[in-house]
Amino acid sequence: MADSSSDPLSGMDIDALIDDAATTADVKTLSAFGYETRYRLVRLLVEADGAVRFDEITPYVSVSDSAVSHALTLLCDAGLVEKRKDGRSRSYSATERAEALVDALIRTR
């Protein structure tokens, strides 16, 4: 048996650290970055100055409008993008979480 005084995890609340709900939410968020189009959309929104209308987003990615719409829905579900409706128009913006994750990726390259 290992000496518990040298155990780096001793004294930690492991159950809180690996909480199932938090782990599920984090994996969902990170997996949203798993496709180039979704990552490009998040980067675009992080760099934008405020909310961006759907029709302003689509020229910057080389996929169909329906693929962009689907990607934005997944990013909203993952907590990386917020959507606002104004009549028939939709606009999107990056969340604080998206900004922090993109910043961490940039800083650790």
Domains, the chain, in order of start with CATH, read 21-107 (1.10.10.10)
Residue of 57, 59, 62 lying closest to 92 (CA atoms): 57
Residue of 101, 78, 98, 82 lying closest to 90 (CA atoms): 82
H runs (alpha helix) in 1-109: 14-17, 20-32, 36-47, 54-57, 65-77, 96-107
pLDDT greater than 60 at residue 83? yes
pLDDT at site 12 = 79
Mean of the pLDDT values across residues 43-63?
A: 93
pLDDT at site 1 = 47
**What are 92-106's pLDDT values in tens digits?**
999 999 999 999 999
Residue 68, C-beta contacts closer than 8 angstroms, at least 6 positions apart: 37, 41, 54, 57, 58, 61
Whole-structure pTM value:
0.80
Mean of the pLDDT values across residues 64-88?
A: 94
pLDDT at site 4 = 53
